[in-house]
């Protein structure tokens, strides 16, 4: 019987998600995967992202193959899966989610929009994943699971305290290696890392606590406002 503990971490972009992958990747008992549905998402939607062709060529574009990989045997007892909620478009299977521990990583929409716009101009609500995150949250509840929610702001304020809480929530022993990683990236980084991961590649641990919320220009403030109800709903039950 497969005893692998599979943890699916669901977030939108610009949300500490890569640092979280590096945190779990620092455990000697864990293997990680970086946004396995990214190529499928681009292929299905026709949306063009930076490094589009490289991404399409680096992963399986058939989401059914990807889903099978997420449940396949691994050589380590923990399989951490970094997922983007906006990748779960129509035609991407969700039945496999019943066989993993689903965790939702949230961040205040104003911070997400401000960060995203520095890498890709003109973000819309669909780009930043909040609506999709709430939809997946409801799906997990329908599966009979109690979703786990953790806020990136809280992790940056108290990395050890919050990561310890997360380990308890998912049934893992605490490992202090989760607080530090080598600079320069991880072997499991997606091909898109050179565009998106500059700051985390320079890091060796979680960034310091965040400052006040950024002031957004009107169009971006509207996108953040649209996302707030989804964020507030999940924040109400966070660790």
Nearest CA-CA partner of 107 in 98, 97, 116, 118:
116
Let me know the angle formed at the C-alpha of 158 by 188 and 6, rounded to the nearest 5 degrees.
35
Question: Which residue range(s) make up the domain with 213?
Answer: 5-235
pTM: 0.94
CATH number (domain holding residue 188):
3.40.50.300
pLDDT at 43 over 80: yes
In the 8-state DSSP scheme, what is residue 90?
T
Is the pLDDT at 1 greater than 70? The verdict is no
Residues 151-204: pLDDT tens digits? Answer: 999 999 999 999 999 999 999 999 999 999 999 888 888 888 888 788 888 999
pLDDT at 213 over 60: yes
Query: What is the total count of domains within the chain?
Result: 1
């Amino acid at each position: 019987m497969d005893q692998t503990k599979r943890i699916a971490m669901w977030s939108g972009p610009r949300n500490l998600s890569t640092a979280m992958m590096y945190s779990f990747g620092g455990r000697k008992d864990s293997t990680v995967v970086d946004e396995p549905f990214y190529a499928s998402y681009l292929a299905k939607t026709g949306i063009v992202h930076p490094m589009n062709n490289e991404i399409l060529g680096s992963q399986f574009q058939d989401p059914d193959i990807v889903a099978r990989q997420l449940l396949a045997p691994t050589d380590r007892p923990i399989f951490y899966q970094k997922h983007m909620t906006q990748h779960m478009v129509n035609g991407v299977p969700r039945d496999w989610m019943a066989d993993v521990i689903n965790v939702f990583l949230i961040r205040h929409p104003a911070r997400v929009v401000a960060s995203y716009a520095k890498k890709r101009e003109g973000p819309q609500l669909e780009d930043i994943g909040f609506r999709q995150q709430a939809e997946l949250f409801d799906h997990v509840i329908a599966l009979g699971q109690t979703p786990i929610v953790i806020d990136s702001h809280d992790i940056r304020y108290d990395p050890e305290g919050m990561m310890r809480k997360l380990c308890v929530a998912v049934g893992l022993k605490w490992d202090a290696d989760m607080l530090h990683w080598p600079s320069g990236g991880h072997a499991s980084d997606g091909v898109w890392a050179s565009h998106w991961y500059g700051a985390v590649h320079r890091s060796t641990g979680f960034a310091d606590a965040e400052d006040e919320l950024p002031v957004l220009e009107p169009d971006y403030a509207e996108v953040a406002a649209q996302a707030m109800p989804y964020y507030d709903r999940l924040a109400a039950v966070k660790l």
